């Protein structure tokens, strides 16, 4: 403790001796200030503009299907029918999976409930499966991805000469 007090005392004495060793103020040079020529005082404003907050848009699952289909490139005139079918088939849920309702034992996948035996399983016409042959999917499970499902549905729509034959709306 004595050691710390002696260090503090030495510092105080050093500082005070520096203050007393300065030359008298009449010997100090005049301070130099920067020029204020051409300087204008800034005008003060009291208004502040705060940007309006962006509205939060909450979309229903079917509204999301419509927007995604639009982005993918579905024709605008077909979006209403597409959403009606997606709502009927899957309630617009991308993970919808029908494993029990088809008499032939086939399964339906995703938003548009695309049938595996017809479109993504190997057949005598398409060794890999129709949608795999087109390069849209690799396996039927890829149809749980809403982008791939709607892309596949568009391919089936075009396959049917731009009709809804595959879904019987």
Active site residue 89: yes
Instruction: Put the strands of the sheet holding 108-109 in their side by side order.
Output: 97-98, 108-109, 114-115
Active site residue 108: yes
Q: From the candidates 27, 89, 104, 116, which is the catalytic residue?
A: 89
- For 109, 124, 136, 152, the CA distances from 146, given in Å and listed in that order, are 10, 28, 12, 10
Q: How far apart are CA 110 and CA 145, in angstroms?
A: 7
Which one, of 163, 151, 144, lies nearest residue 98 by Cα? Answer: 144
Q: From the candidates 27, 30, 40, 108, which is the catalytic residue?
A: 108
End-to-end CA distance of the chain: 93
Do residues 156 and 166 lie in contact, with contact meaning Cβ atoms separated by under 8 Å?
A: yes
Active site residues: 89, 108
């Amino acid at each position: 403790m004595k050691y710390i007090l002696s260090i503090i005392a030495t510092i105080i004495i050093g500082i005070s001796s520096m203050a007393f060793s300065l030359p008298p103020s009449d010997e100090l040079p005049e301070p130099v200030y920067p020029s204020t020529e051409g300087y204008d005082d800034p005008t003060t404003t009291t208004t502040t503009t705060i940007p309006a907050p962006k509205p939060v848009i909450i979309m229903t699952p079917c509204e999301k299907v419509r927007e995604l289909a639009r982005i993918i490139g579905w024709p605008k005139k077909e979006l209403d029918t597409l959403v009606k079918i997606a709502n009927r088939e899957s309630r617009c849920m991308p993970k919808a999976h029908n494993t029990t309702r088809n008499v032939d034992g086939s399964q339906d996948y995703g938003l548009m409930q695309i049938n595996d035996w017809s479109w993504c399983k190997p057949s005598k016409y398409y060794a890999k499966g129709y949608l795999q042959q087109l390069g849209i999917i690799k396996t039927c499970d890829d149809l749980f991805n809403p982008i791939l499902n709607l892309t596949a549905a568009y391919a089936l729509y075009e396959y049917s000469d731009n009709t809804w034959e595959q879904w019987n709306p």
